[in-house]
Structures are given as C-alpha cells and as structure tokens.
C-alpha cells in the first residue's frame, strides 16, 4: 500500500461522518439500519443514497445543490471515499456522509422504506454474461432497492453505457415499472435545462468518457405500489 493511500485510510478513520463497519457488523445486525436520519444525520430530512459513489463527487454536488436532504455515498474503496469525505468536511456539510461497505450488502445497512432516492452513477456494465449477476441495476439488486425505498422513491441511473441504459429499459418494461425521465444523450437532448439535476456535476469518469466521445445517458424510474420486480 502506498504512503499516500495509507495516509488517507488513517485520516478517514478519524472522520465522524464516515462509517467503516466490518463484515460481521453489517451482516450481524447493523445498528445504524433504521436510524440514519435520527442518529447519523440527526434530522428528519429525506435520505438520498449514492451507490458505488467512488470519489463521492455526486453525493457532495447534490448536497451543495439541495441542503434540505441527507446524502450518503456508499463504496468499498476507502481511498476514493476520502476525497468526497474530506471535501464535505471542509465545506461543513453535516448533511453529507459516507459508508464504506460492499454494495451487495446494502440491504443489511438500511431498514425497509428508509431510503427516499437512490443514485447510481457510471457503474460497470458487466457486459459478459457470467458477470450479469453483478450488474447494479439487475433484477436481484432491484429487488433489494425496492424493499429499501420509501413509497414513490426514485432511482436515478447516469451512465456512459447505452447497453446498460437499454438493459434497464427492458427490465422496466418487463416488470411494469414507471419511467419518470429518460435520455440517451443528456448533452444533446436537455441542454435547454441547465439546472437539471443530471448536470449537478461531471464526475471523474464522466469527464473521461466525454473526452472519448461517448454519450451520457440518464434514466429515472420508480416502482409502482403493489408492483415491483418480484
């Protein structure tokens, strides 16, 4: 481990707005589940979760955009989380926090209906068939998200992958979910809406993909009452 990475891990351990539970803590009955608003953020504002947050750019940007909500970035990479965690600390953003854990354990980290919105930004499309079960917007993950979202809670997918965008559209149609917004090219289709939340920030990966000439897609949807992905 490089000195810089080690220093980041050491510093991250001192941040009160970052939780880094061990596997047994998460799977054995995570004490924060059901108490994120009351015990962690100490308010009753809506809870927005960014899954696979990487450097936490979107969680921080959304927090700057709307301080009337709580934002929690989740990722397993501590050295990456450090960037967003440090930024939010320097800006005194008490409504922004981070959880270092695996996305596949997310259902153990929250109580049913505790999350009000989910953001998934530039996930790995997992193109190969044998990796399909790891897609963060695949049926197995969507079942988890549905249980965790409050009634009417939305999921946002922002991606450079037309494959992933189309794949999710297929699942939505198959399961009868509700599309709220969808764009195959945000910079070509909604440039007349500069204040749209999809433009809250350009992440590290978004900038990289744009330089390569890729289009950026966006899809917002929600589960219907009594429906879902069962």
Q: Which of 124, 185, 192, 195 is catalytic?
A: 124
Give CA–CA dist 164/176, Å, rounded. Answer: 18
Q: Assess whether 66 carries a catalytic annotation.
A: no
Exposed (0-12), middle (13-18) or buried (19+): which is 89, by Cβ within 10 Å? middle
Number of other CB atoms surrounding residue 226 within 10 Å: 5
| CA-based nearest residue to 41, from 87, 86, 98 | 98
For 52-77, letters b (16+ CB in 10 Å) and e give: bbbbbbbbbbbbbeeeebbbbbbbee
Rounded Cα gap, residues 221 and 138, in angstroms: 14
Name the residues annotated as catalytic.
124
């Amino acid at each position: 481990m490089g000195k810089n990475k080690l220093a980041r891990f050491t510093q991250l351990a001192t941040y009160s707005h970052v939780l880094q539970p061990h596997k047994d803590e998460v799977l054995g009955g995570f004490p924060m589940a059901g108490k994120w608003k009351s015990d962690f953020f100490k308010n009753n504002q809506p809870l927005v979760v960014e899954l696979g947050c990487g450097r936490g750019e979107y969680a921080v940007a959304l927090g700057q955009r709307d301080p009337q909500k709580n934002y929690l970035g989740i990722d397993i990479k501590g050295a990456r989380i450090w960037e967003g965690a440090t930024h939010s600390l320097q800006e005194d953003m008490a409504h922004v926090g981070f959880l270092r854990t695996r996305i596949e354990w997310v259902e153990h980290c929250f109580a049913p209906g505790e999350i009000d919105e989910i953001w998934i930004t530039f996930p790995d499309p997992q193109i190969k068939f044998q990796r399909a079960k790891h897609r963060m917007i695949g049926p197995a993950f969507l079942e988890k998200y549905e249980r965790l979202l409050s009634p009417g809670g939305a999921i946002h997918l922002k991606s450079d992958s037309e494959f992933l965008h189309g794949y999710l559209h297929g699942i939505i149609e198959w399961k009868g979910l509700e599309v709220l917004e969808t764009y195959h090219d945000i910079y070509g289709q909604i440039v007349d809406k500069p204040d749209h939340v999809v433009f809250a920030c350009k992440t590290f990966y978004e900038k990289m993909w744009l330089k390569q000439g890729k289009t950026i897609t966006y899809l917002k949807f929600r589960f219907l009452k009594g429906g879902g992905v069962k």
